[in-house]
Amino acid sequence: MKFDSPATTSPIDRGRVIGKPLDRIDGPAKVTGTAPYAYERHDVAPNAAYGWIVGAAIAKGSITAIDSGAAEAAPGVLAVITHRNAGPLAKGNLNTAHLLGGPAIEHYDQAVALVVADTLEHARDAAKLVRIDYAPAKGRFDLAAERATAAKAPDGFGGAADTAVGDFAGAFARAAVKIDQHYTTPDQSHAMMEPHATTAAWNNGKLTLWTSNQMVAWTLKDVARTLGMKPEDIRLVSPYVGGGFGAKLWLRADAVLAALGARAVGRPVKVAIARPQIPNNTTHRPATIQRIRIGADKDGVIDAIGHETWSGDLPGRGPEMASQQTRLLYRGDHRMTAHRLATLDLPEGNAMRAPGEAVGLLALEVAMDELAEACNLDPVELRIRNDVQYDPEAGPQRPYSSRKLVECLRQGADRFGWSRRHARPGQARDGRWLVGMGVACAFRGAMTTESAARVGVDGSGRVIVETDMTDIGTGSYTILGQTAAEMMGVDLAAVTVRLGDSKFPVSAGSGGQWGAASSTAGVYAACVALRRMLAEKAGFPADQALFEDGLVRFGNQSQPLGKLATREGVWAEEKAEFGDLTKRYAQATFGAHFCEVGVDVDTAEIRIRRMGGVFSAGRILNPKSARSQVIGAMTMGVGAALMEELTVDTRFGFFVNHDMAEYLVPVHADIPAQDILFLDELDDKASPLQAKGVGELGICGAGAAVANAVYNATGIRLRDYPLTIDKLLERAKGSALA
Ligand code: MOS
């Protein structure tokens, strides 16, 4: 099915199952501990041995000698795998550094050996006995220091590196009100709950990987490439994923090394990347330096807007696309965006939790707060004045498919009690707390991508959905079940959803918040085909048959689905392909974040007091799981604003705080109740279900609302994230802080 013209009415519009706040269908399996995760596949891979990864102790250079004798002789050890005995290994298309390093070392904690033993303890102990000598080379580890060496980034990492419309420099120079500021965001770690983990087993030259991965088809292809195998000789199984956040979009060392280990010892092997290894062994969100220039008239109407971003990465990788939302969010006839990329020898920077917008809005939405103040305007009003209903780089011929940003701002302000905010900072006090409110827009692109599914009905009338789509804690099982239930006219309880297995049709996978809209479209397409097959079997005209209550009806005749399916069942496989609607229409998701903070007048401790968000993202398929998505993401926004930072040792090139004790993320006690509203909306150009994803929308802008609230509370404008106590206290003199 090709989706290349706007959606019209469909059985989805009945809204009996779709759009209902139903519980997760995978919930009971998860809370009873019966959902099998990658490291605990005792059911299908009993007798697995344990692998422990040895990481490189230098960031750049080479291995001069490896002595694994003592490790091999240690109790329980079955094998030690290094580049010397691993056999030929290619690099996956989606990996920047090799997943088993040596002799060249490309980054700190790059895997250089796997010790396989009968128990985890034996493997971990023996790993300490592997002796490796290195010849270190000089590396580049400091983004600020390398900024001058940065070059224009390559295109194609989410669009062109640079864009320009009109005469930015001239218009900015002429503007009555100007903002020109730099903002910085640090390296960040995904910090998902479940580490990267894989159980691998070989059977007659065929490999099965039970792994924790967001993108089954991408990763299978890279396993094949890395190991020099045929894709059809590999099966990848990823039914439950304990969080991905972008860390598991790719093949990582756990899967490659588990496969090599299992081949070496002739039995299943499991490998997890231990928590302290994750930040340096795997990928992270790169740090950015951002410069924003905005030129407006006295009424705050933007004429010139420019956003430049500097980031760094290993050779061969791309930029953090932090300027990209600035291409689309606000009006302005004269515009420019640019991405500059420095080479850094830190671990690989890559996608994390709304790459681009998540950090770009931390800068842009603070700059807008600064512009509002410079124009003596309310920051909500400023944003409304600069709304644009079309892609401002392309012009009015490329309208938004739908854009209810102004409605989000107005309703959000109303619900939050925004009118109680003092325009002048440092005015509100509650006991020892300085109180401030902040606002920021949420904006995230609404990508879609091809997605296939197989849907069947069995002899009992049960509907079965199979697709390699993953559920990374997002609710995929449930919304795909709801889609099939609505289309086939059965209750959600009558649907079985099977996900995350490469033997199922290839889906969009989970990334870039494209999963919900794309994968439900694939299930929808398969259901359309299945309905036709069943109607024909019943002898009813396919376009007039009704599917409801487990029956196919036509006029006053009806047939139960199960009877039509017979004992063999009836199956349909289809895919949804997306045409050029995303070219003809700008497509995105929108929202408005509101935050109230308290800042302790003496200690400068920052506490979130209230958060509210109003979002618009097309049809909301399941308000309960969608709400969970955005409250989790808003929590990540608080993390970005106040806590999350990988600290770089710029001498040796590694992240110092590489565990959950020192890489801080918000916990329950940090986050108050969050008030969430989704606007009623159908976006007929977004998908056949008129839906868009919300997985990443909630993080986008949330941190800027926090930062703006901190400014409103204290009068101190911090532009270097995270906003910590020490940075406030440095600037306390003359502020509302005592
Ligand atoms: Mo997302 S960072 O594309 O999983």
Residue-wise pLDDT tens digits, 589-612: 999 999 999 999 999 999 999 999
Both tokens of residue 594?
A: 């509101």
Residue 408 CA: distances (Å) to CA of 329, 380, 441, 593, 692: 14, 10, 9, 9, 16
Angle 357-374/623-642 helices, nearest 10 degrees?
70
Measured in Å, residue 245 CA sits from the centre of ligand 1 at 5
* Residue pair 288/359 in contact by the 8 Å Cβ criterion: yes
Is it true that the peptide bond before 722 is cis, omega within 30 degrees of 0? yes
Measured in Å, residue 340 CA sits from the centre of ligand 1 at 22
pLDDT value at position 202? 98
**What's phi and psi for 170, nearest 5 deg?**
-65, -45
Q: pLDDT per residue over 162-181, tens digit each?
A: 999 999 999 999 999 999 99
Atom of ligand 1 minimally distant from the CA of 354? 2
Q: Which residue among 249, 470, 699 has the greatest number of ligand 1 atoms within 8 angstroms of its CB, and so is best to mutate? A: 249
Direct distance between the N- and C-terminal alpha carbons of the chain, in angstroms, rounded to an integer: 64
Measured in Å, residue 690 CA sits from the centre of ligand 1 at 22
* Residue pair 697/630 in contact by the 8 Å Cβ criterion: yes
Q: Which residues pair with 178 in a beta bridge?
A: 295
Atom of ligand 1 minimally distant from the CA of 249? 4
Q: pLDDT category, 295, cuts 50, 70, 90?
A: very high
- The answer to whether the Cα torsion of 552, 556, 557, 559 is positive or negative is positive
Kind plus residue range of the DSSP H or E element containing 546: strand 546-548
Measured in Å, residue 38 CA sits from the centre of ligand 1 at 20
Distance CA 594, CA 608 (A): 11
Atom of ligand 1 minimally distant from the CA of 695? 1
3-state secondary structure of 437: strand
* Residue pair 258/269 in contact by the 8 Å Cβ criterion: yes
Kind plus residue range of the DSSP H or E element containing 435: strand 433-445
Both tokens of residue 577?
A: 């392909």
The mean pLDDT value for 714-721 works out to 98
Model confidence pTM above 0.75: yes
Distance CA 468, CA 497 (A): 11
> What region, left, alpha or beta, does residue 636 occupy, with left being phi > 0 and alpha being psi -120 to 50 degrees?
alpha
Q: Which of 494, 505, 495, 157 is nearest to 320 (CA)?
A: 157
Measured in Å, residue 428 CA sits from the centre of ligand 1 at 39
Strands 61-67 and 104-105: antiparallel
Query: Which residues line ligand 1 at a C-beta cut-off of 6 Å?
Result: 214, 244, 246, 249, 351-353, 355, 511-512
Atom of ligand 1 minimally distant from the CA of 214? 4
Atom of ligand 1 minimally distant from the CA of 510? 4
The DSSP string of 564-630 is: HHTTT-EEEEEEEEE-THHHHSB-EEEEEEEEEEEEETTT--EEEEEEEEEEE-BB-S-HHHHHHHH
The mean pLDDT value for 455-482 works out to 98
Q: Which residues pair with 305 in a beta bridge?
A: 294, 335
Would you say how long the chain is, in residues? 738
The mean pLDDT value for 704-718 works out to 98
Is it true that the peptide bond before 688 is cis, omega within 30 degrees of 0? no
pLDDT value at position 666? 98
Both tokens of residue 668?
A: 């329950």
* Residue pair 177/293 in contact by the 8 Å Cβ criterion: no
Distance CA 62, CA 417 (A): 60
Strands 495-498 and 463-466: parallel
Q: pLDDT per residue over 398-409, tens digit each?
A: 999 999 999 999
Measured in Å, residue 354 CA sits from the centre of ligand 1 at 6
3-state secondary structure of 300: coil
3-state secondary structure of 549: coil
* Residue pair 278/658 in contact by the 8 Å Cβ criterion: yes
Measured in Å, residue 413 CA sits from the centre of ligand 1 at 30
Measured in Å, residue 259 CA sits from the centre of ligand 1 at 25
Known catalytic residues?
A: 696
Sequence letter at residue 619: R
Atom of ligand 1 minimally distant from the CA of 246? 4
Q: pLDDT per residue over 540-551, tens digit each?
A: 999 999 999 999
Number of other residues whose CB lies within 10 A of the CB of residue 138 = 10
Residue 223 CA: distances (Å) to CA of 12, 197, 208, 228, 548: 38, 15, 11, 8, 43
738 pLDDT above the threshold of 90:
no
The percentage of the chain sitting over the pLDDT mark of 70, rounded to a whole number, equals 100
Atom of ligand 1 minimally distant from the CA of 248? 4
619 pLDDT above the threshold of 90:
yes
Q: pLDDT per residue over 470-503, tens digit each?
A: 999 999 999 999 999 999 999 999 999 999 999 9
Place of tokens 């592997």: 130
Distance CA 470, CA 214 (A): 6
Atom of ligand 1 minimally distant from the CA of 511? 3
Q: Which of 71, 51, 69 is nearest to 117 (CA)?
A: 51
pLDDT value at position 130? 98
pLDDT value at position 505? 99
Measured in Å, residue 482 CA sits from the centre of ligand 1 at 24
Distance CA 109, CA 349 (A): 14
Q: Where are the alpha helices (DSSP H) in 244-378?
A: 253-265, 278-281, 357-374
Q: pLDDT per residue over 641-684, tens digit each?
A: 999 999 999 999 999 999 999 999 999 999 998 999 999 999 99
Measured in Å, residue 634 CA sits from the centre of ligand 1 at 16
Place of tokens 């250089």: 112
Q: Which residue among 285, 353, 470, 629 has the greatest number of ligand 1 atoms within 8 angstroms of its CB, and so is best to mutate? A: 353
Residues 380-402: b if buried by 16+ CB within 10 A, e if exposed: bebbbbbbbebbbbeeeeebbbb
Distance CA 135, CA 194 (A): 34
Residue-averaged pLDDT of the chain: 98
Atom of ligand 1 minimally distant from the CA of 696? 1
Measured in Å, residue 27 CA sits from the centre of ligand 1 at 23
Q: pLDDT per residue over 203-260, tens digit each?
A: 999 999 999 999 999 999 999 999 999 999 999 999 999 999 999 999 999 999 999 9
3-state secondary structure of 24: coil
Residues with Cβ < 8 Å from 668, sequence gap 6 or more?
none
Q: Where are the alpha helices (DSSP H) in 268-316?
A: 278-281
* Residue pair 161/328 in contact by the 8 Å Cβ criterion: no
Measured in Å, residue 201 CA sits from the centre of ligand 1 at 28
The mean pLDDT value for 276-280 works out to 98
Angle at the Cα of 672 from the Cα atoms of 403 and 698, rounded to 5 degrees: 25
Q: Which residue among 696, 697, 700 has the greatest number of ligand 1 atoms within 8 angstroms of its CB, and so is best to mutate? A: 696
Measured in Å, residue 190 CA sits from the centre of ligand 1 at 10
CA nearest ligand 1 atom 4, residue? 246
Distance CA 239, CA 470 (A): 6
Distance CA 117, CA 80 (A): 9
Atom of ligand 1 minimally distant from the CA of 351? 2
Place of tokens 């990209």: 324
The mean pLDDT value for 570-588 works out to 98
Where would I find the beta strands (DSSP E) of 169-277?
A: 177-185, 197-203, 206-211, 234-237, 269-272
Q: pLDDT category, 509, cuts 50, 70, 90?
A: very high
Measured in Å, residue 515 CA sits from the centre of ligand 1 at 10
Number of other residues whose CB lies within 10 A of the CB of residue 196 = 29
Distance CA 715, CA 735 (A): 6
